[in-house]
Each structure stands twice: as C-alpha cells, then as structure tokens.
A and B are shown apart, each in its own frame.
Chain A
C-alpha cells in the first residue's frame, strides 16, 4: 500500500504532499525534511530505493523535482517507479511542459490528478487517456459553476 506521496524540489522544499495514512501535522515537517534529505543526498548512479523507518521510499528525479513515494513492504518497488513516471507524463500533458511553478500555482489540479490515479493508497487508474479526460471535464465543470 502507498503510504504517502511527496514532491520536493532540489532545495528540499515540499511542493506537494499527500498522506494516505494519517501522520500528525507536527511530525510531518521533520519527517519530510529527513526523507527529502535522504533522497537528495543520493546520486544518479545509486538505486532509487531507500529504507526509512518502516517505509520503503521509492523516488525519482525529474530535472529539479524529486517525486518520492513511501510504500509499505508489500508494494512492488518497480511498479511504483512506473507509477511515478506515469504521473509525471500526465502532469506534463495537462500542463504542457510542466515545471515546478505550474505545480505550485495549480496545486489543486496536481492533487486532482493524483486523486485520479491513487485512491486510498491503491492504484485506481493508469490509463493516461482516462485520467486526462476526467481532468479536462473537471476543469470545465469548475469553470461552469
């Protein structure tokens, strides 16, 4: 099961976070900082998996952004890597050349895409087409009201 999804930049600032298991707010900043530090300190020639407490962190770097997913021991690490890539591709398609600022200013959209893909810690939908379709429909519904 997926426990959390983090998006951080190279400076360690969190740009998006979603927890599928509740973690008290006061513990989050410290935990996030440690997780991000662990991931950032690794170079490209090292593998994308880090063990952290009870979690296994699967991360992937896209230019200056780190996508970090915390999973429990039952999850298949490679499939999570593929999931991250899928998410980035969808972000890219819906923002047209996504960059850090896009995500900051359209946080709710990034969240919505994530919700389309992952629900309750499980993979919900993987088809790019379906996800983009509902993202577009949602923005239309948003504008209408």
Chain B
C-alpha cells in the first residue's frame, strides 16, 4: 500500500491550496488506516499528525497511539512519539496516566537522549498527577552529574512545583545547591526557576540573596542569566531595604558600562522597582532612558517610554523635563510607541500646555481607529479632569472640547463624556450659562441621535437634557428648548434618557411660567450677581404670557407621544408631567396662578453626592433592617403560586399608574426584596436626582489657592463672547472661577471610613497554593513525597499495619487492668530517625553479656497528630530479635497545685518483638536492670514483663507503664532481654527517654526571667556551639521538641533567650547567639548534670536538623 511520508504530506498540502481541508481529511483517513499497522507505520502516521496539529486540527483521538509510539524501543520512533505528545497533550488528555511509567523509565534511562526527550516532553505535558507521581524521581535526578540532563530537570521542576506545590519544600534544598553549580548553564537554569518562584512569594527567597549577589558580581557573559538575577533582585529588594543599598554599586556599574542594551534596560527596571529612593541612581536611569527614547531604534524608543512610565508612577514630576521628547513621540508613525507616549502624558501636562496637547490629541483622533481612538478620548478627559480640573484654566474651552469629543464617531465613551459634562457644570458655577446654551444646541443636533444605543454616544444627551432643565434659569428661549426636548425622534432614545427629557421639560416650563408671572422675582430665579459671574452672558428675551401659552401648546401637542411610550419609566414621567400641567391649567382657569409654587419644586440645588455616602447614612434608632416588612409566609405562597412574569407586571403597573392601583391584593405588594432592589437601581439610573457613578464625584484636594487668586473684576461692558467663533487669545482676560469640590454627605454620617479599596486590593493578591508555601520552615514528617512502590511492598505494609492494630488492641486490654486508675489521654508518640547511623546495639550470644544501646535519641520529634510510630532498635550480632519501641508520656490526672506527691512521671513503653530466627524461643522476658530500680518503678506487680514463648518468625507487642522518679533526670531506660532457645540469650537494651518528658512547658515574662537569673548566681553553666542555624528556627525546634519556650528574641534575630522548668522545679535558662555562622547556646541550670545532658541533646538535635537540610 502506498504511504505518504511527511514530505509528501507537506507537498500535497501545498499542491491543494484550493481544497486544503478536503485533502487533509483524506490524509487523516489514511493515517487512521496506518495506525493499525506496525510500529514504523504508526510512527510515520504520528509524525504526519504532528504536522497536521500545527494547522489547527484536533488529534486527540490519536492520543493512545501517541503513547504507543512513545514506548517504542526504536529511538527515532520514540522521538516522534514524544514530539507529538508535547505538541498535543494537555491536562485533559486521559491517556497521559498510561505514560507515567514510560516517562519515568525514559528520564532515568542511561541513554541521555531518551532522557532529553522525556524531560522536554514532561515540561510540556505535566499534569498534577504526573507531577505527584514523578516528583520524587525528579528530585533524585537533581543530583545527577550529567549537565544536560540536570539543566532540563531543574526547569521541569518548576512545572512540577506549579502542578504539585507540595514538592517544593522537599526539593528546595537541592535546587538551592544548584545556584552554586560550577556549570554556568545549570546555574542559569536554577536562577530561572527561582526567579519565577520568587515572583509568587519573594519572602521565601530572601535568604538566597548573598548567593545571588555573588553571582551578580562575578562576571559571566551569560546576559540572559544576568537579566534574570537582576529581575530577581527587583522582586526581593522591596522586602529587604538593606539589599537595595548593596545593589546600588553593582547596578550603577552595569548601567554605566554594559554593552548589552537588554541588560541595561533590566537594570533600570530593577532600580525603579527596588531602589527608587536613591536619587543619583534615579537620575542616571532617567538620563539613560532619554538616550533610549532619542535612539533611532524604534525598539529602544518603545522600551524607554515604557520604563519612563514606571518612573512616573513613583515621581510624577521627574519626567516632566523630557516633555518635548515625549510629545515628539506622539507623532511617531508606530502605534505602539504612540500608545506608550500617551500613557506618559499625565505627567507632562501643565496649565499652559494642556490646550495644545489636547488639540494635538484631537487631531490624532481624526486619523486614529479602533481602540486607539477610544484611548485618546479617554486620555483627553483624564488629562483635563486631573486633580479635579487642576490644569484647566478655561472651562468654556473644556465644554467645547467635550462637545467635540462627543462628535467622534463610534466612541465607547458616551457615558464618560456625559458624566464630565454634568460634573463640570455642577462644580464650576460660572460656566453654567455657557454650558446651558451649548447643551440646547446639542439637544437640537441630529448627530447624537443617529445611533441610539444604550451606553453609546447618545448618553451625552442625558447630560445635556439634565443641564438644560436644572439650570433652566439660563435658558433664554424656552420655546426653542421645549421643542428640542419633545421632538418626535426623541422617542427612539434609550428609556432612561427619555425619562430625563420628560422631567426636564417640566423644569423648563416651570421656570418660564414663573418668569412670566413674577418677572424674575420667583424662587428659582438667578440673582444679578450670579448672572454677572457667568463667563458668557446670554441675553434673555423677556418671557411673557404669550410665550407660556406657546410652551403649553407644544407640551400638549407632543406629550401624548410619550404617555404612550412602551418604556414604563418614560410613560410614568410623561403622565406625571401631563397631570401637573392639567392641574396648572385648571388652577389658572380658576384665576390662581401657581407658577411660583410650581418652580419651587425644582429650586433646591443638587450637589454631587460623595462616594460611599449612601453607606454612611446612619440607621435610625428602632429600625431593624433585617426584620420582615411583610409576613414571610405570604411571600412563600406568592413565589410558589404566581409565576415571576405576572409578578413583575403587577408591580410595574403599580409604578406606572402612579399609585392609582393602590388597592392591589396583599400578595402583589410583597414582591421579592431583591427584585425590588434591582428595580430601584434601575429607577435610580434614570433619575436625574440621583447622581450615580464614581467618576463624577472624584474626590481630590481642593485647589484652594486657585480660588483666592486676586482677579480683576470684569468690566460690565465686556459684552457677550461670540460662541463657537475663534477665541482671540489676546482679548481673553483671566476669569474668576471656583471649582466646587465638596460632596454631599448625610447628616450624622458615621465617621469610620472603612478603607474598602485597600482591603479589596489586599484580597485580590493572588493566593495560590504555590505562593503560600513557606520554604524557610524546617522540613517535617509531613513533607514526604509519594514514592512509587511495587504493590507487594504495599501489601506487606498493610499487613504490618493490621498486626499493629491487633497488638494495640491486646495492649489496651492488658493496660486496662494495670493502669485503670490513670486515664490515658491521647499521648504524644515519639520516634527517632530510622536510618540514623548512631542507632546501634550489640547483641550477645551464648550468655555473653553485652551491652546494646538503642539510638541515643537525637531529641525525638513530637508529632501530635501522626499515628504511633514504632522505632526499630538495631541489635548487632543478634540473629534472634527485631525490636521496635514506642515511648509515650502518660498524662497525669490533674492534681491539686500544691501537691508535692507527684514524685513520678508515668511513661508507657510499647515494645514490638519479632523472632526473626527460625528457632522457637521460650522464656522471653524483659526485666528492668538492677541499677535503675531505685529510679524507675514498674506499675503493677513485678519489674519484669514476660512474653513467654515466641515462635519462629512470629511477633508480638507488649506494653508496660513505668514510673520514673522525678528527683533526677533519667536519660535512658535500660532493660534486659532474656530468652532461651538452643542457647540462652541475654541482651541489654537502652531505650532513650526524651528530655522533653521532664521539662514542663513554662512561659514566663522577661522580668521574671531576669529575676531568676539574678537569684541563682550559683547556677551550673555549660555551653555548646553548633553550626549556624537561624534563631527563628532554633526557637521553633526547641519549643517543638524540648518544650523549651522562648522568653525574648532580639529583633535583629541574632540572639534569643529561653527558659524551661523541669518537673523537679529546676530552672533551665539558655541564651542563644548567632555569630559568624556559628550558633552558641549558653545554658544555666540549677543542676550541673542537667546542663550537661542538655548540651548533649542540643548538639545531636541541631546536627540532625542540619542533615535534614
């Protein structure tokens, strides 16, 4: 059968340009055939599939075949399989688990090319399962000598950490070593991984700073690694300010001398992040950046602007001296560069150049497209609004600019422009007259209504309508504006805009009628003073009764269109307006002109509401917000019986008819609270009295100076400024204006300003599993990686487990009789390191009495939750027994504090004895040695506990409670094990008793501590030195394992004092100092033997810690 090779496939695809899809599906059919063939055919097929994946075809159906090819013995096939796997497998690929063992086998293979393939592939396809199953092997592989494999393993580890964060702690010590690897490539990989890790949780890696610093100052030519290290320092310095100082010199050096632009750039970035308070360095950075920005290479220009932007975030004004250069970049033909320059503008504006910059940006809008255009619009608004219009000197200009912006087609910033218009007009009183005039023009213009979409540019009309209505006193021709309000095409606008139109039409009418009735003396009229303050004085044509009639006619003619609106909100407002007008009409017919009363409806000024003001409204006394308003039972019935549609309808009708349908039945009123809230929000959105939106009420410092600038009074005969025409700069006089930055707060607002923004920021910080791991804690028993084992091993272990359970049950039965009186609380179990080399014992044969010593207990770890662990006692030269023991302290029943009777400490010893020989043993017996009998007593009858006959291969567990005399510290329990087989056996066993059994956890204040030290000048002292261990760690270990508590720790972390008390009320005081890589412990104790004993314990304890690390 004819088979296409990969080359044939590629050629075929090129030859079938027109019907590529058809050709490929034909090929896939062939491939499916080939996958049924032998291995070489399969490999060929998979090779082709790999190419096809690249073209965007899903080949997940072939995943199993890929695994097959991966396990091929032939290297070239295997390679194809691995490539296909790394290209197409992902977390959802189920067959990956089938490949676990294949991958393990391959990366441990002697053939380093197979190991390459496996590791490369693993880095691409690592799933949490794979990571968990392979982590242990990979950590082992970290100690390989083969550089090529080592490099890959290090990088794969990063992926493993990501997928299986538990692996980080056990693997980290090895990883740390690699930082000092002589091979630069290995070092570079380790730096890479640690750099990535440090981005997640920099605190963990501070201890590596010295090593990294050494790498930085040793010159290599590997710029990529340099870059990573510099980046890593960037992450570390914010946490450790001293590091920043150390870095100044090397970084300055690199910045000044390096020929590599990438390295230079990275150093500058790190300086900005890490050491921003060093001014000379910052100046150097800024000057270097300037050369980058002026560089003809566009790439450098781009990056220069990027970095300058970062500086600007810290020193907003530092970059202003490069204004010209940055403004020059605005004209660059490259959009990426223009965007970056745009970002920088907020640091560049001044009062003087704001109009120029804005004009420049406006020119750019004409040619810009897509999102860039929107960004420019946003930027112009942002620049002008900066610091509550700090840089705007001419608000008429700003209103014009905003209007110009609203003409930008298809901008997404309608709401933004609208909110700016509202904000400016409300805050800056003097511009109101001008704004109102312009807004009427805007309302009449058909442009904005061309594309009536919610959130689009027609939102500007919302603002325009509101301004015209609210400042209706400045409206010079009410008829004209009412016509604009009620033109038929308004009915295509979004509902909330239409509602605003309705109410504001009423406002305009109210003002006009009041004006006609009172001749400018009504409540809503503006004073002459206010009028004079306006930047633009609009000539108001006097309003007379005929104008009012004209207005009424328009309203009557046009309103019906809106009272029939399909939008309920609009309908409601329109009905309201027409009802009020009807009332006005009837009253006037009766001879009462209520125009003055009508306008008082709208005279109260509406000010911006402070953000969070709503929240700060105090809850009135006696109001329980959580209490039911209606009986909850009714609501249940309601939601069960009525479907939601009719419910909404019912409630909406209520609103629409303005309460006429008030007598609806009970259930109709009790609609869902949440729905009511939603509705309220909706209503508020369309309510001109509610100024929602954070942008409108930007809080900032009041520019007080500005309000106090002495300004010459405007001459009365200045006359109206020509609107829309060219403004003559020379004629322009500085105008007096105030920016009202106050915002309304409810009365008796609660003062507590919960800093919500910062707290939410806090919670936003990524909290993934990897970043929450602390690698500085010492490794504990729980940091064990799963090891793949043969199932027979697992079975055997299960059997052991079962036996132990049985034994424990047996022991419990026995213990019940012997120590029924002392209740056994859950006790802490104790174990020592199994492989500890010191664990040794000499066994005796033929009654040759020999001493055996169990592990001299390198201070046992107290594991609170872990199940009891039996520790082996190695018996040398003993072919009969395997022994393991567990020693726990039996908690004593609470005794009266004054009691001195507690002369003993009860401990429970469980011994597991196995006869490993093939002879049966009889008379197996443990006895307490004579020398210890005065210190230790055995609960129960005798000092011996016997097992009797122990058959070949069998095992048993016995347990016994001992009482240790408390008048002295007993370092070990010595037992004699005797037995008889063909010969008699006699072995001495030493079981170490952890010191913590004798130490009572005591916390005392430092004053008390000093007192004790002073009083007992005659204390015995001893000291011990151990290789460096951080004090923090020492505190943890001592508290954990010896019950010794820290009293005081020097903030620098170099010294700490400890205190403990033995059960004989002997004091132990200890001072730990960390100096020059050696930690010394000075111990003072009332008992010299105690001090010596502690010295021994400490040295073994810390030695063991170090081995663990």
Partner-contacting stretch, out of B149-157, B485-493, B707-715, B926-934? B149-157
Docked complex: B78-137 residues within 8 A CB-CB of A: 79-80, 83, 87-88, 90-91, 111, 113, 116, 119-120, 123-124
Q: What 0/1 readout, one digit per residue, does chain A (126-145) give for beta carbons within 8 Å of chain B?
A: 11001000100110011111
- CB-based contact A126/B299 at 8 Å: no
For B266, the chain A residues whose CB sits under 8 A away are 76, 79
Q: Which residues, 87 to 122 on A, are CB-close (under 8 Å) to B?
A: 104-105, 107-108, 111-112, 115, 119-120, 122
- Tell me which residues across on chain B come within 8 A of A145, comparing CB atoms: 74-76
Q: Could you say which of B7, B158, B261 contacts A122, with CB atoms under 8 Å apart? A: B158
In this complex, the interface size class of chain A, counting residues with CB under 8 Å from chain B, is 35 or more
> For window 45-69 of chain A, which residues contact chain B by CB distance below 8 Å?
45-51
- Chain A, 1-39, contact with B by CB distance < 8 Å: what is the 0/1 string? 100000000000010111010101110110010000000
- A40 at the binding interface (Cβ < 8 Å): no
Asked if residues A79 and B196 are in contact (CB atoms below 8 Å), the reply is no
Nearest residue, chain B, Cβ from A42: B334
- Residues of chain B within 8 A (CB-CB) of A46 are 298, 333-337
B199 engages A74 (CB within 8 Å): yes
Q: Which of B55, B83, B152, B334 contacts A119 (CB 8 A)?
A: B152
B residues within 8 A CB of A42? 334
Question: Contact flags (1/0) for B752-791 with A, using CB distance below 8 Å?
Answer: 0000000000000000000000000000000000000000
**B58 interface contact, C-beta 8 A:** yes
| Cross-interface CB contact of B90 among A20, A22, A48, cutoff 8 Å | A22
| Cα A46 to Cα B333 with chains together (Å) | 7
Q: Across the interface, do B298 and A45 meet the contact criterion of CB distance under 8 Å?
A: yes
Given A47-B301, A108-B80, A142-B76, verify A76-B265 contact (CB < 8 Å): yes
When the two chains form their complex, are residues B265 and A78 in contact, meaning their CB atoms are under 8 A apart? yes
Q: Which residues of B contact A48 (CB under 8 A)?
A: 298-299
Residues of chain B within 8 A of A105, CB atoms compared: 6-7, 10
Which of B222-230, B982-990, B1049-1057, B1097-1105 faces chain A? B222-230
CB-nearest residue of chain B to A107? B51
Least distance between B460 CB and chain A CB atoms (Å): 30
- A22 contact from B53, B91, B116, B156, Cβ within 8 A: B91
Distance of B994 from chain A, by nearest CB (Å): 45
In the assembled complex, which residues on chain B have CB atoms less than 8 Å from the CB atom of A74?
199, 231
Closest to B77 in A: A145
The residue on A at minimum CB distance from B93 is A22
A14 to B53, CA, bound (A): 11
Contacts of B336 in A (CB 8 A): 46-47, 49-51
The stretch of B184-192, B558-566, B798-806, B997-1005 in contact with A is B184-192
Minimum CB–CB distance from A51 to chain B (whole Å) comes to: 7
B596 to chain A, nearest CB (A): 61
B47 within 8 A of partner (CB):
yes
Out of A16, A50, A122, A142, which one reaches B79, CB within 8 Å? A142
Residues of A within 8 A of B910 (CB): none
List CB contacts (< 8 Å) of B41-57 with chain A: 47, 50-51, 53-57
B262 pairs with A78, CB closer than 8 A? yes
Q: Are A124 and B152 in contact (CB under 8 A)?
A: yes
Contact B158 A14, beta carbon cutoff 8 Å: no
Bound state CA distance, A89 and B180, in angstroms?
Answer: 30
Residue from A28, A47, A124, A138 in contact with B334 in the complex, judged by beta carbons closer than 8 Å: A47
Tell me if A119 and B265 are in contact (CB < 8 A): no
- CB-defined contacts of A144 to chain B, threshold 8 Å: 75
A142 to B957 CA separation, bound complex (whole angstroms): 60
Q: How far is the CB of B885 from chain A (nearest CB, A)?
A: 47
What are the interface flags for B55-69 relative to A under an 8 Å C-beta threshold, 1 for contact and 0 otherwise? 111101000000000
For A108, the closest partner residue in chain B by CB is B83
- Would A124 and B155 be within 8 Å (CB), given that A1-B196, A141-B113 are in contact? yes
B303 interface residue per 8 A CB criterion: yes
Could you tell me the distance in whole angstroms from the C-beta of A95 to the nearest C-beta in chain B? Answer: 15
Residues of A within 8 A of B227 (CB): 76, 79
Give B130 Cβ to nearest chain A Cβ, in Å. Answer: 13
Complex alpha-carbon distance, A77 and B263, angstroms:
11
The answer to whether A122 touches B334, judged by C-beta atoms less than 8 angstroms apart, is: no
The docked-state distance in angstroms from the alpha carbon of A123 to that of B185 is: 10
The interface bits of chain B over 172-205 (1 if a CB of A lies within 8 angstroms of the residue's CB, else 0) are 0000000000000100110011001001000000
B159 contacts the other chain (CB 8 A): yes
Q: Which residues of A sit under 8 angstroms from B223, Cβ to Cβ?
A: 79, 82
Q: How far is the CB of A5 from chain B (nearest CB, A)?
A: 12
Question: Which single member of B57, B156, B261 contacts A25 (CB below 8 Å)?
Answer: B57
Docked CA distance A14–B10 (Å):
13
User: Shortest distance in angstroms between B371's beta carbon and chain A's nearest beta carbon?
Assistant: 10
B360 within 8 A of A: no
Write the nearest CB–CB distance from A7 to chain B, whole angstroms: 10
Nearest neighbor of B230 in chain A, beta-carbon distance:
A76
Alpha-carbon distance between A64 and B227 when the two chains are bound, in angstroms: 31
Q: Is B148 an interface residue (CB 8 A)?
A: yes
Minimum CB distance partner of B193 in chain A: A122
Residues on A with beta carbons closer than 8 Å to the beta carbon of B53: 25
Q: Closest residue of chain A to B53, judged by CB?
A: A25
Given A47-B301, A124-B152, A142-B75, A25:B56 Cβ within 8 A: yes
Residue B302 lies at the interface, judged by CB distance under 8 Å to chain A: yes
Interchain CA distance A17-B158 in the complex, whole Å:
22
> When A29-B56, A49-B299, A81-B299 are in contact, do A76 and B262 touch as well, CB less than 8 Å?
yes
Among A104, A108, A137: residue with most chain B CB under 10 A? A108
Interface pair A120/B185, CB less than 8 Å apart: no
Smallest Cβ distance from A28 to chain B, in angstroms? 5
Residues in B209-243 with C-beta less than 8 Å from chain A:
222-224, 227, 231
Q: Contact check, B261 vs A78: say whether CB atoms are below 8 A apart.
A: yes
Given known A25-B56, A25-B58, contact A122–B333 (CB-CB < 8 A): no
The answer on a CB contact under 8 Å between A77 and B189 is: no
Name the CB-closest residue of A to B153. A119
**Given the complex, which residues of A lie within 8 Å of B156, measured CB to CB?**
119-120
With A and B bound together, what is the CA distance between A83 and B334 in angstroms? 23
> How far is it, in angstroms, between the C-alpha of A77 and the C-alpha of B75 when the chains are bound?
37
Provide the residues of chain A in CB contact with B193, threshold 8 Å. 122
A32 to B53, CA, bound (A): 13
By a CB distance below 8 angstroms, the chain A residues around B185 are 124-125, 127, 130
Give complex CA distance A18, B91 in Å: 16
Query: Do B299 and A123 have beta carbons less than 8 Å apart?
Result: no
Question: How far apart sit A20 and B336, CA to CA, in the bound complex (Å)?
Answer: 25
- A122 near B196 with CB under 8 A, answer yes
Contact yes or no, B155 A119, CB < 8 A: yes
B337 neighbours in A (Cβ, 8 Å): 46-47
Which residues of A lie under 8 Å from residue B231 when comparing CB positions? 74, 76
A-B contact pairs, 6 of them (CB 8 A): A14-B54, A105-B6, A115-B120, A119-B119, A126-B224, A145-B75
* Chain A interface (Cβ < 8 Å from any Cβ of B): 1, 14, 16-18, 20, 22, 24-26, 28-29, 32, 42, 45-51, 74, 76-79, 81-83, 104-105, 107-108, 111-112, 115, 119-120, 122-127, 130, 134, 137-138, 141-145
A-B pairs with lowest CB-CB distance, top 6: A78-B262, A29-B56, A47-B298, A145-B75, A120-B123, A46-B334
Q: A115-B120, A120-B123, A122-B192 are in contact. List 9 more A-B contacts (CB 8 A).
A: A18-B87, A42-B334, A47-B336, A76-B231, A83-B224, A108-B50, A124-B151, A125-B185, A138-B113
